[in-house]
Amino acid sequence: MGLTEPNAGSDVASMTTTAEKKDDKYILNGNKMFITNGPIADVAVVYAKTRPELQHAGISAFIVEKGTKGFSAGPPLIKMGVRTSHTSELIFQNCEIPAENLLGNEGDGFLMAMQTVEWDRSALLAPFVGSATYLLKKCAQYAKGRVQFGRPIAQFQAIKHKLADIRIFGEAARSLVYRIAWCKDQGRPLNHLEAAIAKLYVGDWSMAPTFDAVLVHGGYGYCHEYDVERIFRDSRLAPIGGGTSDIQKMIISKLI
């Protein structure tokens, strides 16, 4: 999904990528940034302004296929975490696409983007529920096997408290994620509040359990060999991707 730009993140309306209609074609110009699957995608949905003077109402969505002339992907970005997922810039230089590649109607793009971002938020959150479950299991295994002061560290209350906090985070996140899924199942369109609340909670609180997990593992937790270190780095994406925590707070505070 090509939405974010180097200078237009959550402020979607300020995007500068344009799609100019010429006969039975659109000509795309602009750059998209932080695009997941950017280097490997066979097809992309790209948002661009067909009528820049209308701001968000002038945004439209297009399908662009790999290999289209004028469309290229930048090199994979080197990131702190989530490294298995490739991310790059998408570049459009006089990229001509057939008019039939317009998704929906001209001007529908903003609404589509918002609906998609809502899914993006929801889908982005489930992995943090999964990682909390995994962390709990790994920490429990390690704590039972690691002996200090003559007994497994699992017997120390401070370790149990960390395990408890990991579990509590996971259960809270699970409830929030399931609620969004349930809202979707009910056919409720644009669940801004539910999605933003879930994103804000998981985003802001998901780092603490990974920090605890590293502490439970001590020096080993700081080493690449143990995957709690990877999950710790991965968790830093939660308050950034799919709309930062500050953006979620903006959405929620407007709705209340």
Cα separation, 223 vs 230, whole angstroms = 9
| Using rule CB under 8 A, residue 190 touches other proteins | no
Task: List 48's β-bridge partners, or say none.
Answer: 60
Spatial CA neighbour of 159 closest among 145, 139, 173: 139
| Using rule CB under 8 A, residue 132 touches other proteins | no
| Using rule CB under 8 A, residue 66 touches other proteins | no
Cα 201 to its chain centre, rounded Å, is 14
What token pair was written down for 96? 């001509």
Cα separation, 210 vs 14, whole angstroms = 35
Minimum gap (Å) between residue 34 Cβ and other proteins: 24
Q: Residue 189 gets which letter from DSSP?
A: -
| Residue 11 or 246 with smaller CB distance to other proteins | 246
What are phi and psi for residue 95, nearest 5 degrees?
A: -80, 115
Q: Return the amino acid letter for 159.
A: I
Please identify, among the stretches 7-15, 101-109, 157-165, 229-237, the one whose residues bind other proteins according to the rule CB under 8 A: 157-165
Q: Work out which of 99, 123, 168, 190 binds other proteins, going by CB under 8 A.
A: 168
Binding mask 237-256 for other proteins (x = CB under 8 A): ---------x-xxxxxxx-x
Binding mask 203-232 for other proteins (x = CB under 8 A): -x----------------------------
Cα separation, 10 vs 249, whole angstroms = 12
Q: Which residues bind other proteins (CB under 8 A)?
A: 136, 139-140, 143-144, 154, 157, 159-168, 171-172, 175-176, 178-179, 182-183, 197, 200-201, 204, 246, 248-254, 256
